[in-house]
Amino acid sequence: MKISKKERQDKLQLTIADNPFVTDDDLAKRFNVSVQTIRLDRMELSIPELRERIKNVAEQTFEDEVRSLPIGEVIGEIIDIELDENAISIFDVKEEHVFQRNQITRGHHLFAQANSLAVALIDDELALTASAQLHFNKPVQIGERVIAKAKVRRKDDRRTTVEVRSYVGQMLVFRGEFDMYRSTTQVEGGI
């Protein structure tokens, strides 16, 4: 049974408010309309696209939590973070991130995603990368989504070691170990 445009748009707003991570494709299937219709509905309702909604949720959720750098300076969008423990970010590879001749992502973008996630993970006003060991395991193509997962492996005095593994789907494409310098001394159980 077909519903009116007004009713569909009302339900669309409620659905996105309930789950800001829902895709246009999923919405099109849910309301039995084309993806283009969903995009037009979103534009009429001033609802941003998925990438912008993810960014907005991350900024609202993590802005007060992340201390080491402004959330807007993280490459990719943080979707989960527990300071000094672990974090996850996503990065969608676009045309400006790849070599034109082969459509492979430039390595510095994968490094920047991982490094900025490692910095954001540190619960301190100042966190700097002292050194890093990097391994690029597989080329990443234009249009792919890179999910970076960071985990604190060691903490001592003023250093924290953060391991970051980046995936496209289930495939490991990058891994790095970052030796991070903190401005304050960490002791077991707090600062």
CA–CA distance, 138 with 26 (Å, rounded to integer): 29
**Predicted pLDDT at 183:** 81
CA–CA distance, 33 with 27 (Å, rounded to integer): 8
Q: Which DSSP category does 152 fall into?
A: E
CATH fold of 64-182 reads Thiol Ester Dehydrase; Chain A (3.10.129)
CB half-sphere exposure, 181, CA atoms < 13 A: 5
Q: Is the pLDDT of residue 171 over 90?
A: yes
Q: Is the pLDDT of residue 161 over 80?
A: yes
**Predicted pLDDT at 55:** 67
Q: Is the pLDDT of residue 189 over 90?
A: no
Give the tokens for residue 178: 């970052």
CA–CA distance, 137 with 175 (Å, rounded to integer): 8
For 79-121, how does the pLDDT look when each residue is reduced to its tens digit (9 = 90+)?
888 889 999 999 999 999 999 999 999 999 999 999 999 998 9
Among the ranges given (30-39, 44-53, 96-105, 181-190), the one the predictor scored with the smallest mean pLDDT: 181-190
Sign of CA dihedral 27, 30, 31, 32: positive
Looking at per-residue pLDDT, the higher value among 70 and 123 belongs to 123
In the block, tokens 């300076």 appear at 73
**pTM surpassing 0.75?**
no
Q: Report the pLDDT averaged over residues 138-144.
A: 95
Q: Residue ranges of the domains in the chain?
A: 5-47, 64-182
Q: Report the chain's mean pLDDT, rounded to a whole number.
A: 87
* CATH 3.40.50.1390 describes domain 5-47: no
Looking at per-residue pLDDT, the higher value among 190 and 166 belongs to 166
